[in-house]
Structure 1
Amino acid sequence: MIGDLALRWFVTILFVLSAAECGYALAAGDRRPAAVVSQLLHVVMAVAMAVMAWPSGAALPTVAPMVFFLLATGWFIGVTVSPLGAGHRVAGAYHALMMLAMAWMYAVMNGRLLPGQASYVGDATPAQTGHSGHAGMTMPGMDMSGSDTAVTASGGGYPPYIDALNWLCTIGFAVATVYWLYRYLTVRMSRTPGAGVPLGALCQSMMAAGMAIMFGVML
């Protein structure tokens, strides 16, 4: 969970808007089965991230969502390498990496699934380990205690490889935010007056921004 209330609401709004756009695309867009499944996975991801930012969401189980998003990663990999992904392989690979990042975040939240993490958790104080078994969520800027007391441990108590991958995800999604926003603005400015504006790129920009923030507070 994000400790700062304003930032928590900002991230929540980003993901709620993203889920709404994906839902609209699902209702009004491509009705092919592969496209429907892909949009549904993005809706689930956006909702899951919005929930994760709040105290009740931070207390939920992590293993089942982690497995779900690993399967979602496999789905996007399969679509990307299949004939359905022709012409969209870069975007497909990005979506697969986004789902993998979700699975990674849940694994980190669990606190005991990743190599070396349990020993770091074992050295943490009760105030650092949070609640509901999510001992891994010991990030500065995130309050996992279910109370008004924010976590104060420096460095989050993670093994170095976890910190390195969290940094990679933070930077990667920050870059993706700029890319998708640029793509949205480029398409919007190039369209004829009165034509509808496709929101897919803007949706992806908001989702990437939310992911960058969520990984950022884990550093």
Structure 2
Amino acid sequence: MNSPLRKSSCLIFDCDGTLVDSEGLCNLGLQKELQCYGVQEDLADLTQRFRGRKLADICSALSQQHGLQLGQDFMQSYRRTVDLLFDASLQAFPGVLEVLQQLDLPICVASAGPPHKIRKALSLTGLSQFFGERIYSSYDISSWKPEPDLFLHAARQMGFAPADCLVIEDSEVGIQAAIAAGMQAYWFGSAGQVHAYPQVPRFSSMHELPYFLSGLPISS
């Protein structure tokens, strides 16, 4: 059984892959752009390798792997492709809207994505109403997960001590960042992702999150 949160606690949500089902779309955009260079990459492999990573680091890794120079032009083209994919297909994960409607705790978003991407994702999926201006981006502070800086920044802006914050994440680098920040982390994802972090509670459906927060056991 998990300990219930105090009313003075703050929830920090990642965005991509946590609130919105965007990881597949982002990596589909990456796959499409790489095809322009004659490179074929498996979509599932891209998603697994680069979940939660900084775009510049992704481009650097792929450049080295394939002997390419994937610079600003590539990244700008990629961003345009992802924008179109978001417009056509982006959705919130099942249960997210209902859970956010139920929460009576302060909440915010802390994401590695650029601010305009985060805001667009929340707007397209009807989630903007729950977060207002409480949106924090790695691009605002020039620090990316697994460094703890983004979560610490979000905590300061929200007026909470790190120990009073709980992070909802879907990526390993996000979990590492939350732990490094001294915050409790919950991993939203499949069981296979979390074997390296047995101390981190896991849930695979957003419908389960209120049970974690209330300290109730989750039925199997």
TM-score, normalised relative to structure 2: 0.29
**Structure with a larger share of its residues in helix:** 1
Structure scoring higher RCO (CA < 8 A, sep ≥ 6) equals 2
The structure carrying a bigger strand percent of its residues is 2
Which structure has the greater CA radius of gyration?
1
